[in-house]
Chains A and B, each alone.
Chain A
């Protein structure tokens, strides 16, 4: 299987993630799209690991998962907080950065 196929596949997944991030207003969906993008990168890493027959890339995938898990824990806590405060998870409400 050419490496390009995996490249294009992960690129497609990544861009779908981007589109989702841009299109949706629900903070949880946006968050999920970010997870999707991370997974696209992981897939590419594994493909390269296979290509160069090197375990380091897989270790990096492992670390990315670790970081993603930590990120999800904190991120979801933030979303829960936000929901408690404004009773919505619409990211358009979060425009405080303007000030």
Chain B
């Protein structure tokens, strides 16, 4: 089965080619069916691979063909099948399939539906390439591929200028990060002469090349800059909330479940490197924590249902980086998985709401939707419970593990992270109560139009809801079960656990503390939204509503100076310098040709005469001058 791994990205590629070539001609339904079937086929193969890897626990490199071979540089096009990549395969194809099915219904009225599925398949293909690659270059190809698809899908409704601007913003922000990744990759290549994971990590753990930890830190930081861009961390996170311009299933698949976790995958994959780079690891932890708090605080005062979820995603990604930063690599991957379930669920749920509301995204105009949309409401509630960390739901297990690992690392960070987690509980339930309970605040037409979504949309919701509940039981906390199935599974990939074992009493205490506080926050949220009044925000709330004015800050310190610089360059260098030279050349040529034109008498005899003179001159030069 492992040798058939190339089938996994092949199916989405075929789907992309069929949909991409035929999108003008194909009927809408066919595009959806082809796109979904392609992912389903990938999912089936992925399942086979997963169970084989699970039973054997081995890591296999499947060599497909030679990609670059030049001198000492040898980079094969190879896939690495091990615990980490096969797990990501399952997340990508599994959730990808559900979201494809959801999209067949959600995008049904869109004229570009086949094109949409072509992009979506291309995205899945690139993402699979990203996680399957056996060296950093293949990962980078996938990395750029998902960036492209993200751009295409954010700007899918390209007739709206704001949306295309959001797409451009995402692309540019990612580009900054990609540069970091590229530099890190080149540093590895320069120092170790290889990009292959196995060879590189082998070199790190006692190979022939020994470098100072300073260089390790630099490589790790460069790679982390790449992760910042892709996974929306401070300071490169502002693109993700804007990316909500894309269709909602896209937000669920790309901007919540899969693409944005690429950074976590990369660092988890490079754990051998990060374990040798303590400074970079601390940076990861600090950035992750800061992002978690900042994004959570912004989400408290957002009114757009998708924006809340977007900032929640940024915040949860921050948690994952925090886990990576404190050395709990498997925990971060665990949270990637559970987060993929409940965040995809909530995005799809919000899509269902938006669908019912006829495109309305402002929660101030919603309320009381629970009565009309039972399935959406209940599944959304499950998602909220999971993300808030109520015991028994998947989010509890992964988040609790992150918090425990953070506590073991540094209690101060723990309290800050706990604060972010409490904010998470608050804003999620604020969102839930405002949307699904109370009375309807929209227009009469909208109220009349409210309906539960069709089965193609609700079935993925139900499946994801079930996964959100049971997904956490693969990693029960140490106090309940000594056997941690998830960590055991990932053990071959993560060389160095770095887990600090806490006293059981401490762990119970931490769990109790967070659960209790979360329940209090939910009650606070309920009270705060019982009588919603949306008066003008003042003070801190206004700052939060305006996202800490980070966009304005970037505008002031980066965009405006750049614009000023380029307009100055335009005025002086371009207009006077370059244009002067270019126009000068043109004028000189015109002046010269005005004179030379007189030679054109139009008489054949004269031309022959000139030709003979030229021949004579050429002969003279070549025979007498040159020698």
Contact = CB atoms under 8 A, between A and B. Distances in A.
> In the complex, is A directly touching B at CB under 8 Å?
yes
B601 A95 contact: yes
A22 interface: yes
Q: How many B residues touch the partner, as a band?
A: 10 to 19
A91 B606 CA distance: 11
A99 B602 CA distance: 8
A84 interface: no
A51 interface: no
A98 B602 contact: yes
In terms of DSSP, what is the predominant structure of the interface of chain A?
A: helix
B612 interface: yes
Contact of A97 (B600, B609, B612): B600
A94 interface: yes
Q: Which of B604, B607, B608, B612 has the most CB of A within 10 A?
A: B604
Q: How many A residues touch the partner, as a band?
A: 10 to 19
A21 interface: yes
Contacts, number: 29
Contacts of A97: 600, 602-604, 607
B71 interface: no
Contacts of A91: 603-605
Contacts of A98: 600-602
A96 B612 CA distance: 21
Contacts of B602: 95-99
A92 B603 contact: yes
A18 interface: yes
Interface of B: 600-605, 607-609, 612
Interface of A: 18, 21-22, 25, 91-92, 94-99
A96 B607 CA distance: 13
B604 A94 contact: yes
B604 A22 contact: no
Nearest to B602: A98
Contacts of A99: 602
A75 to B, nearest CB: 13
A91 B605 CA distance: 7
Nearest to A95: B602
B599 to A, nearest CB: 11
Contacts of B608: 18, 21-22
Contacts of A96: 602
Contacts of A22: 605, 608-609, 612
Given A97-B607, A98-B601, A99-B602, 6 more contacts: A18-B608, A18-B612, A94-B603, A95-B601, A97-B602, A98-B602
Nearest to A92: B603
A25 B602 CA distance: 14
